[in-house]
Every structure is written in C-alpha cells, then in structure tokens.
Chain A
C-alpha cells in the first residue's frame, strides 16, 4: 500500500512543491508553481483556507475510496468462489482505480492522509464480509447502501465546489463527477442483482448507510 519513490520520479514536479507551504513566519514561500504536466487536479492556490478546504476534501474522498476498497475485499473474501464473484471483482477493480487516482493526488499535493485509515481498513472489511455472509443478496444490499452514501457525498462536494467557483475547479469537478457516475453505476448494478429481495434489506440498508455517513462525518469533523 505504501509507495516509496526515488527522487527521480519527481521530474513531474518542477522545482518546488505544487502548493505553497504553510507555517512559515517569514513569508517568502508564497510562490505558486504550475506543474510540468499540464493537467493539475487541484488548482494551485495561495489562500490558506481554500487550501485547507481542498486538502480536507481530498482526505475524506481518499478515505472513502479506501473504505470502499476494503468493503469489496471483504465481500470477495466470502463470496470469492461463487457465481457473483466476477461482478464483485469488476466493481472492486473500479474502486481500486479510484483509490489509485486519489493516492496520486494526495502524493502530488502533499495532502496528509487520515489517521483513521487502519480503522476504516478493519471496519470496511468487516462490513463487506459480514454482509456477504448474508448471501449474495446481502452483499448487493450492502453495495447499494454504500454506493448511495458515496454518491450523496460526492454530490454535496460537487455542490460546494460549484457554489464557490466552477471555473477554477473544472478539473476537480470533472474528476468527482466521473467518480460519482461510477459509483451510481455500482449502485444500479447492485439493484439489478436482487438487492431488494432480502427481507433484512431495510435494516441492513440503513445500517450500511449509517455506517458510511458516520464515517464521512467523523472524517469531516476530526481530520481537519
């Protein structure tokens, strides 16, 4: 999971970190440098508050994708040899892709990852495995619930960014929209595969949603 990169790979960055450093009393570090690659997801900014907000958003999203990753891992661990496994594997691969993208963003912009990652590791796996033990329908119900929460979360982020300045955050908005569409697709896939046929579905649905919402809220509040 951890990547250790030799300094050569920092050819992508130009001479200085992408975003200016905080915490200096003498302020000659406010230079803002655009990356050598043309495509930068987080717009460079020298406003501390804005930077903090963007970092927070990226941190929460990263944690969310990490958790989703672990949920699918849990489901695969239980249902890995059944008929439904190719489907879950496919969805899991997409989540892995999302996680990879967020890892990149965090590394490039020197965003601190959340301290609660080990917790999400265990909780996600437990949720995935637990729901899968209820059978294929249970796993699908969990998927539906979780993806619904994620989509809501992404939507609220999109709303926030649109309210602030849609043009400035074009790339970021594009990225979040793309990921949200993927998650909605997973949600619909889950629905297609008899997620609603489980009697326990209602409670389980709520529980997964709640779990996910709690996670997002904790992250939002504590990891500023």
Chain B
C-alpha cells in the first residue's frame, strides 16, 4: 500500500490531485489517501517544477480530449452499476472529493452507440500496445504511459491502472494463455477432423509447454522483472489463477478426464514442470533455448516414469498380497484349521 502511495506521489502532487478531480481522470483515491498524497506532495522533492508543469499540461490535454473524444470515457460511472464488471476499473472515479464541478453521472443509457468501447476494452488496448515498449522501459508504468501516448491519450491515463506494472504483466499472461488455448483447440479440431495424428501425452505436454514458453521469447530479457512482479503479494491470487487455468487447459486438451485425486496430482506435476522450465529458460543462453527444451523433455520423462513406476508398484503390491493370501489359505488347509469340526 505504501508502495502504491509513493508511486502515485511521483505522478501526482497536491495540485495535480485537484486537477485530476476536476478533469475526471480515473484516479482511485480515498479521502485518507488524498490527504496523505497532498502532504507528501508538498514536501516531495521528487517533482521538479518542470515535471509539475508537464503533468498539468498533460491533464489539461486530457480534459480537452475528454470533451471531444467520447471513447476516452469520462468516468463511466454507469459501468460501476453494470453487473459482472469484475476488473479493477469497476471502482474507478469513486473519489470521495466533493470538488467535482464538471462531473455528471452518466446515466445507464448514456453513450451506447455501436462503436462504444468499454473501459475494459480500452484498458486492454492500451496494455496490448504497451507490450511493444516493454523491451525499452521494462514492465513498468512508463511502458504503459508510452503506449497511451501512441494511442493518442495522455500519459496520465496510467492512472486507470491501479496495479500499474502488475496490470501489464497480468494482461500479458492472460493474453498468452488465451493464445495457447486457441492453439490447443485448433490442434484438437485437426485431430478430430482426421487431418492430424493424435499425439502421445508426453509429447503433447511437451509441445504445449514449449508453445507457451516460446511466447516469452520476445520479452525474455525483462521477464525476471515480470516474474518478480507476479510474486508480489497482491498479485499472487491473480497469477495463481492464470497459472491454474493454463495448466487445466493443457491437461483438458491432452485428454485428461479424471475425476479423482489424479486431477490434482497431474496438475500439480505440470505446474512444477512449467515453473521450473520457466526459470531455466530465463537464464538460458543457448541458441534457440535448446537447453530449456532438453530440460523440459527430461522433466516430462521423469513424471511419466514416476507414473509408470507407481502403477507397477501398485500391481506388484496387489500380486504380493494375493500371494500371501494364497500361502495363508494353504497353511490353514495343511494344518487342518479350515475344516469344520
């Protein structure tokens, strides 16, 4: 939380806060935060006057933008009321400042033209564009700001993203997973239509994980930063959710239909494989990541071996038990204990 405030204090000073309210930028500030940021602003030595002026100019530009450009929504308050809005934008604009001269709550029927873009879509657009700036700026708010500018928005629209870099990384992860699911579904179609051979499980898993990890290659230099962002406490629930849906998708398309404890063991195994391979990939310097794929191959072989061994152990165990039972009955027969007297 403190981390968040400090972040915001770089962008917003006390004056900027008031400007933000007046020009309907999406800033989620509770009253306490506002006061704290205001106090920090006055004593903050981080903001030079130049930056202050720049920000004010940026905010003014957004103000004029928002009057002419309907696709940068003045806070779409009506979306707060829309059911199912689950993203972080749902509570946008709920500043408890009372100085809101120009704001008018959009009523439910406002701005519903066919080309109307929801806030979620706008955010998605910005984040997708931000991916291009990641090699340059890293997984940071600067990348988002740069992207916003290329889309013709003010760089202060990064205020829309409460989680900052976390939003960017999670968006990228979600995008990759969606792409993977599409690819797997497509492959599945091919198999069903008879146009392709069904792969064996081990090979299928290997290909799926490789496909997914290859999506990281363009960003591999900055990926450690992204991984550490995903491990921040407030991002862990979301990143775990993405990871588990991805693993579930892969196993589903691999043909797993188990409804017992195997459901969990398989997914746990694949999660382990994926995470370790990702770590290996990040520090791999071989051409086209050959070492990573070799590592992946070995890990999957290990898991398959273990599964086979477990089956063998179980079969052996059953055979041994039967043998023992047979021996016990034989003994009883021999000693005559089996006969009724």
Residues of chain A touching chain B, judged by Cβ–Cβ distance below 8 Å, are 1-11, 15-17, 21-29, 47-48, 62, 102-103, 106-107, 110, 112-113, 115, 117-118
Contact = CB atoms under 8 A, between A and B. Distances in A.
A107 B181 contact: no
B340 to A, nearest CB: 15
Contact of A7 (B174, B191, B259, B262): B191
19 contacts: A2-B259, A3-B257, A3-B259, A4-B256, A6-B198, A6-B255, A8-B192, A8-B198, A15-B189, A17-B252, A21-B249, A26-B124, A29-B178, A48-B84, A62-B259, A107-B259, A110-B248, A113-B259, A115-B261
B171 interface: yes
Nearest to B167: A25
B37 interface: no
A5 B256 CA distance: 6
A134 B188 CA distance: 53
B175 interface: yes
Contacts of A1: 258-260, 262
A103 B263 CA distance: 12
Contacts, number: 92
A89 to B, nearest CB: 22
- Nearest 6 CB-CB pairings of A with B: A107-B257, A2-B258, A25-B174, A2-B262, A23-B245, A23-B241
Interface of B: 84, 86-87, 120, 124, 170-171, 174-175, 177-178, 181, 185, 188-189, 191-192, 198, 201, 241-242, 244-245, 248-249, 252-264
Contacts of B188: 7, 10
> By DSSP majority rule, is chain A's interface helix, strand, loop, or mixed?
loop
A21 B84 CA distance: 15
A15 B256 CA distance: 17
A8 B191 contact: yes
